[in-house]
């Protein structure tokens, strides 16, 4: 191996190791906590980003799915693409089927969705991950979530004991943080949620689909905010770099969505961001996002990461502000009364 080849090897494997460690870290938190709502929230995050990790590492010839599972690379790729590229539309048969199955109704006041909330702060909506609790999909989803950390053991057997020990050393404090986060699952009504705005149905579907993707990532980052970094052999584990990459993926997904279809809430986000974000941010953010391919890895310095973090946070704050303009989420006396009535009538 030449010096140049060795440098590429270290860059690529450091990227894989860092992503795999933090996905495995979050999975281990999920396994150790007892609150069901919190477990669901972490599963939602892991399914989205672990599907990207699995698909990209396989494409880059760095391994295969964890365990003896009857899952094809096509299964993984299709699920990843559905997560990352699919946009719900009220006229599509797929969307109609999901709405019918869930009972989603924008015109009548029924309790048709679940919200994940922490101290009444909206974090996620079950529309995006409706299929995850279906038994037919369990093997695929379980395999995707379990794979990243398992691959550390496969790809770096000599380093794995050190990595495993590092995880054990730092995890208990974060398990306590998540256990104390008071995440609840509450029934709600799409009619009530959007009833005070003139939001069109496709924008409603887009918000139902994308709100939790952004808010869950920001919430988990907030609970894990302490920057953690340590060295394992020639590699460095760094939580800040992981979260900046996660947010880069989310931001680029909005750009991709808008290229495929005119979505008014996305266009409003773009207009707001034009006023406050340095235009040079986008090319750098895209360049960092492309490190998900695990082939050629671009290296960024501390100033680059600080710059990216600053504008990523502005961008995603504006996403949530735009989405919140269309939402009415209030667990007031009227909500409690209406829920009691629905509970009595429909045994929900």
Q: Which two tokens stand for residue 228?
A: 């953690």
pLDDT tens string 7-22: 888 999 999 999 999 9
pLDDT of residue 156: 86
Angle between helices 3-32 and 239-260 (to 10 degrees): 90
pLDDT of residue 270: 94
pLDDT of residue 124: 95
- Among the listed ranges 92-96, 250-254, 289-293, 344-348, which one has the minimum average pLDDT value? 344-348
pLDDT of residue 133: 63
pLDDT of residue 296: 87
SS (HEC) of 5-42: HHHHHHHHHHHHHHHHHHHHHHHHHHHHCCCHHHHHHH
348 pLDDT more than 60 = no
Identify the three-state secondary structure at position 248: helix
199 pLDDT more than 90 = yes
Identify the three-state secondary structure at position 232: strand
Angle of CA points 154, 157, 161, to nearest 5°: 120
Give the separation between CA 235 and CA 164, rounded to whole angstroms: 15
Across 91-108, average pLDDT: 92
Q: Which two tokens stand for residue 237?
A: 């584990």
- Among the listed ranges 57-61, 215-219, 302-306, 307-311, which one has the minimum average pLDDT value? 57-61
Residue bearing the bigger pLDDT, 348 or 294:
294
Strand partners, 230: 237
Across 268-274, average pLDDT: 95
Across 314-340, average pLDDT: 94
| 93 Cβ contact partners less than 8 Å away, ≥ 6 residues apart | none
Give the separation between CA 266 and CA 136, rounded to whole angstroms: 34
Mean pLDDT taken over the chain = 90
Asked if residues 153 and 160 have their Cβ atoms less than 8 Å apart, the reply is: yes
Give the separation between CA 177 and CA 35, rounded to whole angstroms: 12
- Which DSSP state fits 115? E
67 pLDDT more than 60 = no
pLDDT of residue 64: 62
User: Which band of pLDDT confidence, cut at 50, 70 and 90, is reported for residue 146?
Assistant: confident
pLDDT of residue 190: 96
pLDDT tens string 201-254: 999 999 999 999 999 999 999 988 778 888 988 999 999 999 999 999 999 999
Q: Which domain holds residue 311?
A: 3-346
pLDDT of residue 260: 76
pLDDT of residue 69: 63
pLDDT of residue 21: 94
Domain tally, the chain? 1
113 pLDDT more than 70 = yes
Across 108-122, average pLDDT: 93
Across 184-204, average pLDDT: 93
């Amino acid at each position: 191996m030449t010096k140049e080849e060795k440098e590429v090897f270290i860059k690529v494997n450091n990227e894989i190791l860092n992503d795999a460690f933090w996905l495995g870290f979050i999975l281990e938190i999920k396994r150790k906590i007892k609150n069901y709502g919190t477990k669901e929230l972490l599963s939602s995050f892991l399914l989205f980003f672990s599907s990207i990790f699995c698909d990209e590492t396989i494409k880059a010839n760095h391994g295969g799915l964890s365990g003896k599972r009857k899952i094809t690379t096509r299964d993984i790729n299709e699920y990843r693409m559905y997560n990352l590229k699919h946009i719900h539309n009220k006229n599509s048969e797929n969307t109609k089927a999901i709405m019918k199955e869930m009972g989603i109704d924008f015109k009548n006041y029924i309790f048709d969705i679940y919200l994940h909330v922490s101290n009444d702060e909206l974090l996620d909506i079950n529309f995006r991950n409706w299929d995850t609790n279906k038994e037919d999909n369990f093997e695929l989803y379980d395999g995707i979530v379990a794979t990243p950390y398992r691959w550390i053991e496969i790809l770096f057997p000599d380093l794995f004991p050190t990595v495993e020990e590092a995880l054990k050393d730092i995890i208990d404090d974060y398990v306590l943080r998540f256990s104390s986060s008071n995440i609840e699952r509450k029934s709600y009504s799409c009619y009530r949620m959007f009833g005070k705005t003139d939001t069109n149905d496709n924008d409603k579907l887009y918000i139902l689909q994308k709100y939790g993707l952004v808010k869950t990532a920001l919430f988990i980052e907030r609970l894990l905010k302490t920057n953690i970094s340590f060295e394992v052999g020639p590699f460095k584990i760094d939580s800040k770099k992981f979260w900046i990459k996660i947010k880069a993926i989310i931001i680029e997904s909005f750009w991709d969505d808008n290229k495929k279809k005119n979505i008014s809430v996305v266009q409003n986000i773009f207009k707001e961001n034009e006023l406050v974000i340095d235009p040079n941010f986008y090319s750098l953010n895209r360049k960092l996002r492309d490190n998900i391919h695990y082939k050629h890895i671009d290296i960024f310095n501390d100033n680059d990461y600080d710059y990216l973090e600053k504008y990523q946070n502005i961008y995603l704050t504006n996403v949530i502000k735009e989405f919140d303009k269309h939402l009415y989420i209030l667990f007031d006396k009227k909500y409690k009364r209406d829920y009691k009535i629905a509970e009595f009538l429909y045994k929900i």
